[in-house]
Each structure stands twice: as structure tokens, then as C-alpha cells.
């Protein structure tokens, strides 16, 4: 069994419980407050949980799939994403942008709270990410201008805005930019749950994704952002998962955790993105004893493959979207 290569100082699990202790429920502002207030005033919800279910149904980001025909790369880029439903609804999801056909931006975010406000907070984070990723943050330009610190600057800008407009909110997030011509990847993380580079022969490397979640003190977020650079070789995959994967519980209330996730990944059949996503989902289902997780979760996997594989489109499994 291949050993998991870890960051020098290890990784503290980035589940919402770990970093949201003592955080206040965000005081929903603007349209979020109006939407939540409307449903409460109308008496159409029996509880905050029911309210969350309705709002999440409208706002939950769906798993989107990459059209390889829009890319100009020496490799075929294979992409798989899934949002798995949970009994407790919240705000998690993945998104991507293509820059000029030669760059790929990947964004994963997971808002604390697991309720209607968390879902709306996650949606706001995604809107800010798209705005900054496309036009830059005022101090740097978007890819492919050549700024290796762009992901970190953009996450810091999002954190600044969230702190100013939604006091008390917390969002764990990771933004990675992949140069599709060379395979070089630059990323920044604000307490993201888990990120791995998967190798073809079963090995894997854990990326350092610790830090402080967005929405906390801006100076603390900026000072503790985790930044890194890796190079994806042909056949390797990048896997990103949200905290709901690690927080999935069995009948004894024990969380799935990083150790079980890594054992699961070491038994995967290869680096095919859909196979990796399916392996994780099957392990979660077997561990929890239910096709529905305790907490909503999301995952995204990307692989750079030989051009000969382009055109072989794999259907999305039925659990990719609820």
C-alpha cells in the first residue's frame, strides 16, 4: 500500500465544527435577510431546517461538467463533479472557469451553519469568486497574466468583502488555477477540507489546505492563507472534497475523517475522475449505511489525459446531482 505524502506539518481536519466553534449565526443582510424573513413571516416553514431545505433547493450549485472541446491543450482534460445530498442541508459546492482555452480555474467552498443562511452565504461567495477571477482583484490580473499569487489575492479579496457585509459568516474555500499547457497548478486555501494529487499507481500527495476560513478577521485570513504550487503530470488527478465528506457519520456517530478517506483512495481502481468520485461515494454509503449523508457534501476531480482519450465521454453517475 502506498504511503500518503503529507505537508510538513500535517493537516488539521477542516470540518466546520473545527473552525466554527463560537461563531455566531450570520445576521443575514440585504436580499438574504428579505428572503429568509419573507418565509418566516408567511409561516410557510415549521422550522429553520425546513427553511433551509427550500432555499437550498433554489440556490445549491449543481455539478457542472467541462466541455473539453473548448480547450486548447496538449492533453484531454477530464472533469467529474458531484453534489451529494444530506439530511442536514447547507452551503457547499464546486465551480470552474476556463481562461482562454488554456487555463482552468477550480473553486470549492463550504459555508458553516448547514441552513438557509449558509446556503445563501455560499452562493454569495461563488458570485464574488467569479467576479474577481474574471477581472482580477484590483491588485492583480486574472489568469493567464502570470501572477502566481493570484489565487491567494482573490481569496483574500473575497474574505474582505464577506467580513464587511455578512458579519459572523464562515466559508472554507480553495481556488486552484491549472495551466493546461504545462500542467502547472497554483492554489490558495482558506481552511479547505481536503485536496489530493492522485498518482496513476495508487500513490497520492496531500496538499496543505489549512488556514482560517473566509469571513473571519480579514488580517487573520490573509496572514494564514495556504498557498502552493504543484505540477500535474499526464495521467494524474486532482481531487477536492468538502467538509461534509469528512463529517459523514456511521450509526455510532463516528465521523468518516481523513484517515478513512485516504484508505478509500488507496484502493481506487485508477485516476479516472468518475471512478474516483464513485469510489468515494461508495465508501461513504457503506460507512454511513445510507445513500443520504448526514451533511451535504461535494467533490470535484480533474485529470490530464492523453489526447487519444478525448471523445470517450463517460456518463455522469446517478448520484452526481440529487
pLDDT tens readout for residues 76-90 = 888 898 888 777 666
pLDDT at 135 over 80: no
C-alpha closest to that of 172 among 295, 4, 261, 37: 295
pLDDT digits (tens, 9 = 90+) for 273-285: 999 999 999 999 9
- Quick check: is 21 in a domain? no
Q: In this structure, is the dihedral angle defined by the CA atoms of residues 153, 158, 159 and 160, taken in order, positive or negative?
A: positive
In a domain, 148, yes or no: yes
CA distances from 157 to 103, 129, 161, 169, 263 (A): 21, 9, 6, 15, 36
Rounded distance between C-alpha atoms, residue 161 and residue 155, angstroms = 10
The total of structural domains in the chain comes to 1
Cis peptide bond N-terminal to 106, omega within 30: no
Whether residue 117 has pLDDT greater than 90: no
Strand-strand pairing, 103-111 and 171-179: antiparallel
Give one word for 140, left, alpha or beta, with left for phi > 0 and alpha for psi -120 to 50.
beta
Q: Which of 7-16, 118-127, 259-268 has the lowest mean pLDDT?
A: 7-16
Residue 321, all three cell numbers: 446531482
Q: What pLDDT, on a 0 to 100 scale, did the predictor assign at position 114?
A: 57
Q: Residue 321: inside a domain, yes or no?
A: no
Query: Would residue 18 count as lying in a domain?
Result: no
Would 22 be classed as within a structural domain? Answer: no
Distance of CA 247 to the CA centre of its chain: 14
- Distance between CA atoms of residues 258 and 7, nearest Å: 14
For the chain, percent of residues with pLDDT exceeding 70 = 66
The sign one gets for the Cα dihedral 32, 36, 42, 44 is positive
Angle, alpha carbons 243-248-250 (nearest 5°): 160
End-to-end CA distance of the chain: 34
Q: Does residue 322 surpass a pLDDT of 70? A: no
Q: Is residue 17 part of a domain?
A: no
| The pLDDT of residue 304 | 87
Which pLDDT score is estimated for 30?
54
pLDDT band at 238 (very low <50, low <70, confident <90, very high): very high
Beta bridge partners of 81: 300
Question: pLDDT of 203-232, one tens digit each?
Answer: 899 998 888 888 888 888 888 889 999 999
Q: Burial code of 197-225, b = ≥16 C-beta within 10 A, e = fewer?
A: bbbeeebbebbbbbbbbbbbebeebbebb
The residue among 72 and 299 whose pLDDT is bigger is 299
Is 193 inside a domain boundary? yes
What mean pLDDT value characterizes the chain? 75
Cell numbers at 116, concatenated: 438557509
Give the range of the structural domain holding residue 71, as residue numbers without chain letter: 29-310
Q: How many whole angstroms separate alpha carbon 210 and alpha carbon 187?
A: 12
pLDDT band at 299 (very low <50, low <70, confident <90, very high): very high
The pTM score is 0.76
pLDDT for 185 beyond 90: yes
Would 300 be classed as within a structural domain? Answer: yes
Contact by Cβ (8 Å): 295, 31: no
Position 46 pLDDT exceeds 90: no
- List, in sequence order, the alpha helices (H) in the chain: 16-19, 30-42, 48-59, 116-135, 150-165, 218-224, 243-247, 257-266, 273-288
CATH number, domain at 206?
Answer: 3.60.40.10
Amino acid at each position: 500500500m502506498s504511503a500518503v505524502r503529507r505537508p510538513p506539518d500535517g493537516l488539521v481536519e477542516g470540518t466546520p465544527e473545527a473552525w466554527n466553534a463560537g461563531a455566531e449565526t450570520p445576521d443575514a443582510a440585504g436580499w438574504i435577510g428579505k428572503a429568509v424573513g419573507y418565509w418566516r413571516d408567511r409561516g410557510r416553514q415549521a422550522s429553520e431546517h425546513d427553511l433551509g431545505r427550500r432555499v437550498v433547493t433554489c440556490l445549491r450549485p449543481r455539478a457542472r461538467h467541462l466541455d473539453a472541446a473548448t480547450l486548447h491543450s496538449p492533453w484531454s482534460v477530464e472533469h467529474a463533479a458531484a453534489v451529494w445530498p444530506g439530511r442536514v442541508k447547507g452551503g457547499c459546492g464546486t465551480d470552474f472557469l476556463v481562461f482562454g482555452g488554456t487555463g482552468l480555474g477550480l473553486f470549492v467552498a463550504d459555508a458553516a451553519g448547514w441552513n438557509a443562511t449558509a446556503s445563501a452565504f455560499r452562493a454569495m461567495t461563488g458570485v464574488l469568486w467569479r467576479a474577481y477571477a474574471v477581472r482580477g482583484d484590483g491588485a492583480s490580473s486574472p489568469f493567464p497574466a502570470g501572477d502566481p499569487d493570484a489565487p491567494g489575492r482573490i481569496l483574500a479579496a473575497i474574505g474582505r468583502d464577506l467580513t464587511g457585509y455578512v458579519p459572523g459568516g464562515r466559508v472554507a474555500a480553495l481556488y486552484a488555477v491549472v495551466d493546461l499547457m504545462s500542467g502547472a497548478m497554483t492554489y490558495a486555501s482558506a481552511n479547505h477540507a481536503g485536496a489530493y494529487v492522485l498518482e496513476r499507481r495508487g500513490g497520492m500527495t496531500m496538499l496543505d489546505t489549512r488556514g482560517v476560513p473566509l469571513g473571519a478577521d480579514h488580517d487573520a485570513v490573509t496572514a494564514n492563507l495556504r498557498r502552493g504550487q504543484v505540477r500535474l503530470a499526464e495521467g494524474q488527478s486532482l481531487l477536492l472534497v468538502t467538509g461534509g465528506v469528512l463529517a459523514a457519520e456511521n450509526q455510532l456517530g463516528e465521523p468518516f475523517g481523513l484517515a478513512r478517506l485516504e484508505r478509500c483512495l488507496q484502493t481506487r481502481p485508477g485516476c479516472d475522475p468518475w471512478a474516483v468520485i464513485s469510489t468515494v461515494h461508495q465508501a461513504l454509503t457503506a460507512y454511513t449505511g445510507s445513500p443520504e449523508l448526514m451533511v451535504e457534501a461535494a467533490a470535484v476531480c480533474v485529470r490530464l489525459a492523453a489526447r487519444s482519450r478525448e471523445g470517450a465521454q463517460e456518463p455522469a453517475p446517478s448520484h452526481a446531482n440529487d
